[in-house]
Structure 1
Amino acid sequence: METTTTENGVVSCDDVISKLKDDGDFDKLRIKIIRKLKENEELRTSIVSIVKQSEAINRPGVEKSKPRQLSDAIRQEVGGKLNEQISAALWEIIRSPDGMKTEITETVKSVYNKLMRPKRARVEHNHRDIGIMNPVRVDEVSMAEQQKEVVNRSLEVVENDNTRDTNNERCDGSDEDLDAPPGFG
């Protein structure tokens, strides 16, 4: 992938995010986040409790319902509350230093630095070609600020992608019965 940098050596957030996605780093992080979410017993217990208390599951004649109909009724009744809890748990995982924050930050910084290296090399090479002994380097302070912006934007993108995945309804038109709610199978 060719990256676009401005004349002052800035790598954009979109460049870093594209590189993360192209190289598979984004999916690897996303899978780890989802695994940690699934391992959250407190969240699982809370979700089970909310579902068991729903009117949809406790109404008369529910045992005659198809699992798909029951799942849709539960989602309609308590889906918003469940999504709030899942979203909060996702953010906790993403922002927690012992969760994924450190790994996400290191991955984004690594990709950012990889994208900056070719720019630095071009600048140094061009300066050597024209006889400048001390090549101009990208200001390390502005680079740190750029990294911070890229990391924050990447955290938002990861959270939004994961939240979107938890909100996705089956839209394949399939009426096949689910044994477990999406993400808990």
Structure 2
Amino acid sequence: MESSSVITPEDVLESLMNDGTIDAIRLKIINQLKGNEELKNTTIKMVEQSKVLNTPGAEKQTKRELFDALRQELETSVLEKASKSVWDLILDNGGLGKEISETVERVFCRLSGREAPLFPPDIVTLIEKEKERIKGSEESKGKEKENENEHSDSTSKKRKFDQMNSEEGAEEVASRSSNPPAMLNDSSKIP
């Protein structure tokens, strides 16, 4: 039974928000960020190297003053790193990103009256394998081209300007260009 109305992304989002799915996904992202040791270590290093904490007299400030100053100094850079980590999670085809895609597809199918999944796992797997094969063949073509360029450079008879300049010497080249052209002798003058 297909519905006659068009299902928009906003319809899917509203459904995900109303049934608590967005909150559940948000909680999973937060828990995975909390477990991200690389993000923790980077943040700790940033705090340890902070100008605020390493300024003389910092020990006399209140915790609140230090926290506010640290936030002002580090908030943007820490949030940028956290944001990158979140996008890595969301776009991960094997973990949370896959779960998000499947959930959105399932809700879309339910709202539109279609049967899930729209893209069976075998097709998705085949598409991903084909993308990897194409990417691999492009990389190997790039390597072949690099090898050709390296080989052609070593067998080429042409010299680059820098090579000529270094072989002949900069002074010799300069003196040649400053000499006036030779005068034609009288016998070669045109009447």
C-alpha separation in 2, matches of 1:46 and 1:99: 23
1:52 aligns with 2:48: yes
1:89 aligns with 2:85: yes
C-alpha separation in 1, matches of 2:41 and 2:22: 29
Show structure 2 runs of 5+ residues with no match. Answer: 120-191
C-alpha separation in 1, matches of 2:104 and 2:66: 42
Amino acid at match of 2:42: S
Q: Show the counterpart of 2:34.
A: 38
Deviation at 1:10, TM superposition (A): 1.8
C-alpha separation in 1, matches of 2:71 and 2:45: 14
Q: Show the counterpart of 2:101.
A: 105
Q: Which has the larger radius of gyration?
A: 2
Deviation at 1:107, TM superposition (A): 0.8
TM-score, scaled relative to structure 2: 0.56
Q: How many residues align?
A: 116
Aligned to 1:60, the other structure's residue is in SS state coil
Q: Show the counterpart of 1:173.
A: none
Alignment map for 1:140-179 (pairs within 5 Å): none
Deviation at 1:66, TM superposition (A): 1.9
Deviation at 1:88, TM superposition (A): 0.6
Q: Where does structure 1 differ by over 2 angstroms across 4 or more consecutive aligned residues?
A: none
Show structure 1 runs of 5+ residues with no match. Answer: 121-142, 145-185
Deviation at 1:99, TM superposition (A): 3.1
Alignment map for 1:1-150 (pairs within 5 Å): 7=4, 9-117=5-113
**Which structure has the higher relative contact order (CA within 8 Å, separation 6+)?**
1
C-alpha separation in 1, matches of 2:101 and 2:93: 10
C-alpha separation in 1, matches of 2:80 and 2:47: 14
Deviation at 1:63, TM superposition (A): 1.9
